[in-house]
Structures are given as C-alpha cells and as structure tokens.
Amino acid sequence: MSGIERANGHRPSGLLHLLDPSLKLAPHPRQEEVSFDLDGTLASVLRLNSEVPETAYSARTLGTERHGNAILIGEEGYCLTIGYLVVDAKSITLSARGGKQIQAELVGYNHESGFAIVRALSPLDIPVLQIGTAEDLAEKESVIIAPYGGTQHSISATVVSRRVFAGSWEYMVDNAIFTAPIHPNWSGAALLRRDGTLCGVGSLWVNDAEAGRRESPGNMFVPIDLLKPILDDLIKLGRSSIPTRPWLGLHTAESMGRLFVSGMVPEGPASRAGIESGDLVTGVNDVPVATLTEMYRQMWSLGEAGVKVILNLRRDGEDMDVVVQSDSRYRFMDRRRHH
C-alpha cells in the first residue's frame, strides 16, 4: 500500500538526521544565484510528523512514527506531501518557520501519483509556494531540493534523468525526476526550479539516479503536473474521481529481465487467488511481460478495478495461469480500516 520498496536501493522516507554530514558537503543555494526571494520561498516548506496506530497495515513497513516535509500550496492551509508519510495516520503535526507546531488533518490521498493533501488546523503565517511545471524540465537543469529548515538544509542539485519509475508495489510514474547529489531528508521535500516555482515532491532515495548507472545515488521526485488534474478532487472528495486501476495486492521484483513475486498483501486479491511468493510472472492475459513497466501497462489496460486479470506464471518449472479478481486499492484499505 505504502509506496515503498526496500529492495534495489529504494528508500521511502528521509529518516536520516537533518544535520547529516552529507549536507555540509553539498552546495547550498544562495540568494545571488536566483531571481526570487529565496528565504521567503523556502519558508513555505514545513516539517511534518505523523503517528500511526500499530494495528494499521502500513505500520508494518512504514512504522508508527514518520517524519518528512509538507509544502503550503493553498491559502486555506492546504499542504502537499508524499502520501506514505500520512497514510493511516491518527495524528499529523506540522512545524512552521520558528518551530511553531500546528495540528493537521489528512484531506486526500492518491496512490497513483503518490501525493497527499493535508490541511493545517491553525493559521500558517508563511508564504504559499507557487505551483509550476516539470513538463519542460530537462536533464542537466539546475534545481533546489528544499526540505524544512531554510537554506542551510536545502541543496543545489541537478536533474540527472527523466524516465519511467516502476516500483514493486503496483506503482509507476511515467516521467519521474531523478536528481543528484542525494538529499538525506527527501520525503515530501520541494523541488524548485530557478524561478522559485514548485516542480516536484520528494519520494525516494535511489541508487540508480543516472540511467544505466548502478552506483549513482540520488533522489526521485514526483512531477507536480500529476497533481493538477486531481487537486480539486483531493480537496473536495478525498480521492480522485478518475476511475481506479485494477489492483492485485502484489509485490513484484524485477531482476535480469525476469519478474518474481516477492510478496503479497495479506487477504488481497493475489493472495486469495493462490499466487505464491517465488512465482515467476511471464505474462498478463497471455501477453508476455519481462519488466514491471510492461506488466503494469498490460494489467492497467484491461479495464477498471474489479476486472479479472489472468497472470501467466511459472512455478517449480511448470507453467500455469491464475485468474485474479482485481480490486480497488481504496476499497480494500477502507474495508481493512473498518474491521
């Protein structure tokens, strides 16, 4: 559920200390290098802490105490963050400039993008950050990675890749933003262009930020453009009104051109259908797949949540087909919370 992958070097949240030694070595942004009010813009990023019940499903992989950042994007106290910080949260606390702590509530969550909206329950005396675009954000462009804490906690970075990111948890971003050097407090951090506008939100630590290089540590940011079509829905409805994709509750590892089932959500569609960890996924509805991207695109092309998905598997050397009755991730998690 979470948007997490601990395999292959992906890390979901910036749990490293804010004063990590790497920050001392990284270049910090300076006012003379930009055309906007640097300190005022960076003040729009807040510290976020959330507490999650031990009984919540996501507590097993994400823990019960989560720390990251949120970005003020609306006058009414609406803040944007990365969803895994606040999924299942029973309490959310924001810290604004000066350390003032404010309670907040989860307003909306969208698994497909990874975004979440929270609302501060008291006034925030900080600027609203202007939403920009990443559509024309190119490799080698200079950007600023900005968590809570101003210039001393922000770094100047470079876009090193724009490409598809596919995670093991049925998650894919078509034009993800990869940056270097790495920032140790990436979760929910703002990615700023040189005009001071927001172009992405921090999601992961990766070890392959540069395409084709295995040892290339950096961060993955979700492009802000994915928020624009769903923002009103998240605020008004809590979810996007766009029909949801079929969801299997499957974790799949990609290795050397092969796909292996690495785990399943307990009582999820894949588990109920009899799929087992270690199964090799060779196709979806008799269409061969060898990468997560191919698997997801084929699976999601079959229709909306609830459609039957035939997984072509190989188990112990034998080929087999398993029919999985897909579900909506949101319906499934709602049922889990009410049980």
Q: What is the pLDDT of residues 68-86, one digit of tens each?
A: 999 999 989 999 999 999 9
Q: What is the mean pLDDT of the chain?
A: 92
Provide DSSP, 270-310: HHHTT--TTPEEEEETTEE--SHHHHHHHHHTT-STT-EEE
What pLDDT is attached to residue 214? 76
Distance CA 197, CA 224 (A): 10
Contact 153, 95 (CB under 8 A): no
Q: For residue 12, give both structure tokens.
A: 């979901």
Average pLDDT over residues 44-72: 93
- Is the pLDDT higher at 78 or at 24? 78
339: confidence class by pLDDT, cuts 50, 70, 90: low
Is the bond preceding 53 in cis, omega lying within 30 degrees of 0? no
Please give the C-alpha separations between residue 331 and each of 172, 217, 322, in angstroms, as whole numbers: 20, 36, 22
Contact 146, 39 (CB under 8 A): no
208: nearest Cα among 258, 161, 140: 161
Distance CA 23, CA 27 (A): 8
Around Cβ 5, how many Cβ atoms within 10 Å? 21
Q: For residue 206, give both structure tokens.
A: 């990766």
Interior angle at CA 94, CA 91 and CA 98, nearest 5: 150
39: nearest Cα among 51, 29, 52, 27: 29
15: confidence class by pLDDT, cuts 50, 70, 90: very low
Q: Which domains does the chain have, with CATH numbers?
A: 1-242 (2.40.10.120), 250-338 (2.30.42.10)
- Predicted model pTM: 0.92
User: Tokens 């606390």 belong to which residue?
Assistant: 93
Average pLDDT over residues 78-106: 94
